[in-house]
Amino acid sequence: MTREFLSGNDAFARGVALARPHVISAYPITPQTTVVEKLSEFVASGKLNSEFIHVESEHSALSAAMGASSVGARTFTATSSQGLLYMAECLTYAAGGRFPIVMMNANRSTALPWNIYGDQRDSLSLLDTGWIQAYAGSAQEALDLALMSFYIAEHKDVSTPFMANLDGFTLTHTYEVVDIPEQSTVDSFLPAYQTENKMDLDNPVNMGFSAGPDTNTEFKFKEHIGMLNAKRVIDECEDKFAKLFNRRYSGLVESYLCDDADYVIVTLGTIAGLVKDRVDALREKGQKVGLLRIRYVRPFPNEQIVQILKSVKAIGVLEKDISFGNEGTVYTNVNSALQKARLNIASSNYIAGLGGRNIEPKQIDEIFEDLKNEQSVVKFVGLGE
């Protein structure tokens, strides 16, 4: 193992290279661009034996990835914001075709107004397309997630495309010390890609066909089951990862000081780091507060959320997203988990960080103070400031 000072983008690119993809299809868009730039350098220098395809759009990038995956190739692509939205038609094709493509998305605000900075409205608006969605919290987790995403997506019981999300600029362009594993260890962790879901001249199969009302539901049900199976495979993957790399992750969620907490902030991505710092500071003042970071939004961690939050007095879902005319998408999902478990817990929604607006430590403290009212409201943090 070696250590290097890397940005989140560079760390993810190193993880992808270690996974030895057969095909990389690339179209640049800020703040994703340096991921595919770094991979193109690896290919050009001979460090990575992969077919690097320059395409003319994000739609073509995912189309090329589907074509490569359909013949049994391990495939990777990356995008952000409007590019991800441009791919939307292909997202459902990839999921419905059960092609285990891995895609890195640099979370960035969507237009209009035009904005290159980070919130999570791009990926969260596409939760229903059938892709696994994970959200990294650090550059180290970004590298590790790159490795684990191929393992999970390609597992025979999952066979589902994987979208790994990194917060634009706050993670993609921020540098940290990252442990980089040896190639031989990665090869022990990640098996060579094998699938029966591919075109084969010796054993022809029908792929990408139409399905009418009499059979369509069955195909969608299998897609749903593959996503649910990912919950078990994620745990299996992380157990194996911990044994080989001596780093353990916490599955679908990360819980921090929630065991005796009265008030908990639920969030995802890098903002969890700031919340964790404020939890520590408020704990020193005697306040029973905690953090629940959602690592995977699909498959959604219903059971884990209920188990962790079942005894708290109130929760606040802090998210960089809004479903206009209603509430934040993460808030909707969290409330659904609580309702299904018949937990009567006050829950409020705090919309923050849109268009990359900074979230201040004092605002986290104010959210925890607001939760003591034990009400259920939707609030925009820092509106008009």
Confidence band for 201, pLDDT divided at 50, 70 and 90? confident
Q: What percent of the chain has pLDDT over 70?
A: 100
Question: Partners of 265 in the beta sheet?
Answer: 291, 316
Q: What's the burial of 332, exposed, middle or buried (CB within 10 Å: 0-12/13-18/19+)?
A: middle
Does the structure show a pLDDT above 80 at 239?
yes
Q: What is the pLDDT of residue 196?
A: 86
Confidence (pLDDT) at 361 = 98
pLDDT class of 227 with cuts at 50, 70, 90? very high
- pLDDT per position as a tens digit, 259-268: 999 999 999 9
Q: What is the pLDDT of residue 204?
A: 86
**Interhelix angle 271-284/361-371, nearest 10 degrees:** 60
Average pLDDT, the chain: 97
Residue 366: predicted pLDDT: 98
User: How far apart are alpha carbons 308 and 336 in whole angstroms?
Assistant: 15
Task: Tell me the C-alpha distance between 66 and 359, whole Å.
Answer: 38
Alpha helices in 108-247 (DSSP H): 121-124, 139-154, 183-189, 216-245
Name the CATH superfamily housing domain 2-245: Thiamin diphosphate (ThDP)-binding fold, Pyr/PP domains (3.40.50.970)
Please answer whether residues 230 and 160 qualify as being in contact, where contact means their C-beta atoms are separated by less than 8 angstroms.
yes
Q: Tell me the per-residue pLDDT of 357-384, one tens digit each, with 9 for 90 and over.
A: 999 999 999 999 999 999 999 999 988 7
**Full-prediction pTM beyond 0.95?**
yes
Q: With bands split at pLDDT 50, 70 and 90, how would you rate the model's confidence at 206?
A: confident
| CATH architecture for segment(s) 253-380 | 3-Layer(aba) Sandwich (3.40)
Residues of the chain with CATH 3.40.50.920: 253-380
Every domain range in the chain assigned CATH 3.40.50.970: 2-245
pLDDT at 313 over 90: yes
